[in-house]
């Protein structure tokens, strides 16, 4: 099916309904799909509404034209419909000053009279209006339903023997065919090995008369599954729900695809900067975690990567990664189109909540100063005539212009990583 915005079942052709049924069938039969059941029910209801409307319409046509043939009826069903027009209420958005009040002095300082108004935010108590964003939030807040993958999100010392067996079953059953080379399969087996080291140690095999002796646990093995927690002891699913809400908030100003890309890029930067640690010398090093596809779609891969990072690094670190990923999305776009306008607003709206109360409008701001320091470090590498920016925390025309000059020669990803290290986020 092509990309059409469908508001009413009557706008679809018979062929499009069949394509929708095939799509729904694929989702049901796929063993890898975690598509929400509610979405499937919505499509089922949509198709049923079409069928009922078609039957009523057929009766009406036969009354008006008794000589109509089955071919005439099928041709009518497959005739493209004109979309109905609906009046949509325009969202009320406050007017914003887009960096108009700034002046620059001869010392290289950027100074302004007032900060631009922040973009509107989604009320945390309200469900997202966009169904795609609502599905994202629902998935982010839901526990992982695959027992083996769910066990991966717990420290090995808290896993029961049954959960360890679940990981083995997952590694053997979830990664077949084209998925057999998925690094997550290797990581699952590595977690099983880590469990045995944690419970039985990694010393040499004990023998009795030349025969191996069954190992004895070096610590009590949990008998009942424990809850999923973050490194600081918080509830993991509540933490991932909050992160899903942060992505939904970002979607209001960035758009859903760019907000999700921000999360995906942030997760990749975090995993690159803070890889899996060392393990018992009895085994080799950990398999490197696979990068998340940066496609702007929040599916099972992105969802598990977010939950794995939250369980491993903590929710605060994942929120920092989201901020860096969003800034990286802006930097990539600025590099591609040669336009850095909006740098001040983006920088403060993205990083401000990490360092202060959102209501604190005082300036200058720490992220502005760190950005200036970052540009001063990179700029002279590519420009012999580089004039150092005054590190005063004000992001105005001079800092915005310097950002654009740096992006002409330095990769946007490298600039983002340097900025993130300066902020202490990487």
Q: Which of 335, 231, 236, 237 is nearest to 274 (CA)?
A: 231
Determine the Cα–Cα distance for residues 379 and 388; give it in Å rounded to an integer.
8
Bigger pLDDT: 329 vs 25: 329
Assigned token pair, 181: 């080379």
Tokens 């198709």 — which residue? 47
What is the mean predicted confidence (pLDDT) over 262-270? 97
342 three-state secondary structure: coil
Which tens digits make up the pLDDT trace of 313-372? 999 999 999 999 999 999 999 999 999 999 999 999 999 899 888 677 676 689 999 999
Contact 359, 378 (CB under 8 A): no
Torsions phi, psi of 406, nearest 5? Answer: -65, -40
Residues contacting 393, CB < 8 A, separation 6+: 363, 364, 365, 366, 368, 369, 372
DSSP β-ladder status, 207-208 and 110-112: unpaired
Q: Which of 364, 192, 153 is nearest to 279 (CA)?
A: 192
Q: Which of 205, 215, 166 is nearest to 189 (CA)?
A: 166
Q: Is the pLDDT of residue 94 over 60?
A: no
pLDDT band at 380 (very low <50, low <70, confident <90, very high): very high
pLDDT at 179: 84
Residues contacting 176, CB < 8 A, separation 6+: none
Would you tell me the crossing angle of helices 315-337 and 397-407 to the nearest 10 degrees?
A: 80
Assigned token pair, 419: 């900025």
CA 275 to the chain's CA centroid: 18
DSSP string covering 155-183, please?
-GGG--HHHHHHHHHHHHHSS-GGGTT-H
DSSP code at position 126? S
CB atoms within 10 A of CB 246: 23
Contact 241, 298 (CB under 8 A): no
Contact 89, 78 (CB under 8 A): no
Residues contacting 74, CB < 8 A, separation 6+: 14
What is the mean predicted confidence (pLDDT) over 89-94? 39
Which tens digits make up the pLDDT trace of 182-231? 999 999 999 999 999 999 998 888 888 888 888 889 999 999 999 999 99
Q: What is the pTM of this model?
A: 0.70
Which tens digits make up the pLDDT trace of 117-158? 444 445 544 556 688 999 999 999 999 999 999 999 999 999
Strand partners, 235: 229
Contact 191, 287 (CB under 8 A): no
Determine the Cα–Cα distance for residues 4 and 149; give it in Å rounded to an integer.
36
Residues contacting 182, CB < 8 A, separation 6+: 175, 290
Assigned token pair, 10: 């009557």
Helices (H) and strands (E) in the chain, counts: 15, 4
Contact 389, 108 (CB under 8 A): yes
Q: Is the pLDDT of residue 111 over 60?
A: no
pLDDT at 115: 45
8 three-state secondary structure: coil
């Amino acid at each position: 099916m092509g990309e059409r915005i469908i508001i009413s079942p009557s706008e679809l052709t018979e062929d499009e309904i069949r394509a929708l049924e095939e799509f729904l069938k694929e989702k049901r039969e796929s063993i890898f799909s975690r598509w929400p059941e509610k979405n499937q029910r919505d499509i089922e209801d949509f198709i049923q509404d079409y069928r009922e409307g078609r039957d009523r319409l057929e009766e009406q046509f036969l009354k008006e034209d008794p000589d109509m043939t089955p071919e005439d009826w099928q041709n009518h069903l497959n005739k493209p419909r004109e979309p109905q027009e609906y009046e949509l209420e325009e969202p009320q958005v406050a007017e914003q000053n887009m960096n108009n009040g700034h002046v620059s002095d001869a010392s290289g300082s950027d100074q302004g009279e007032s900060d631009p108004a922040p973009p509107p935010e989604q009320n945390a108590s309200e469900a997202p209006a966009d169904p795609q964003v609502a599905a994202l939030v629902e998935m982010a807040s839901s526990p992982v339903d695959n027992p083996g993958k769910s066990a991966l999100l717990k420290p090995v010392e808290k896993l029961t023997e049954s959960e360890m067996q679940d990981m083995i079953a997952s590694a053997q059953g979830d990664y077949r065919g084209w998925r057999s080379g998925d690094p997550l399969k290797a990581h699952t087996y590595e977690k099983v090995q880590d469990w045995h080291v944690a419970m039985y140690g990694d010393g040499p095999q004990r023998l009795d008369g030349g025969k191996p002796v069954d190992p004895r646990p070096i610590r009590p093995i949990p008998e009942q599954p424990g809850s999923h927690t973050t490194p600081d002891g918080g509830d993991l699913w509540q933490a991932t729900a909050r992160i899903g809400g942060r992505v939904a908030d970002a979607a209001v100003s960035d758009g859903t695809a760019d907000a999700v890309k921000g999360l995906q890029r942030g997760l990749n930067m975090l995993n690159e900067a803070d890889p899996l640690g060392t393990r018992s010398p009895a085994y080799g090093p950990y398999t490197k975690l696979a990068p998340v596809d940066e496609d702007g779609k929040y599916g099972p891969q992105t969802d598990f990567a977010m939950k794995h990072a939250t369980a491993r690094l903590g929710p605060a670190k994942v929120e920092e990664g989201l901020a860096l990923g969003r800034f990286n999305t802006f930097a990539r776009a600025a590099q591609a189109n040669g336009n850095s306008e909006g740098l001040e607003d983006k920088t403060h709206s993205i990083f401000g909540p990490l360092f202060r109360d959102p209501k604190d409008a005082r300036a200058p701001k720490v992220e502005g100063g760190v950005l200036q320091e970052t540009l001063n470090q990179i700029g002279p590498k590519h420009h012999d005539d580089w004039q150092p920016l005054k590190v005063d925390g004000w992001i105005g025309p001079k800092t915005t212009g310097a950002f654009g000059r740096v992006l002409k020669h330095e990769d946007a990803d490298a600039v983002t990583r340097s900025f993130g290290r300066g902020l202490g986020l990487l």
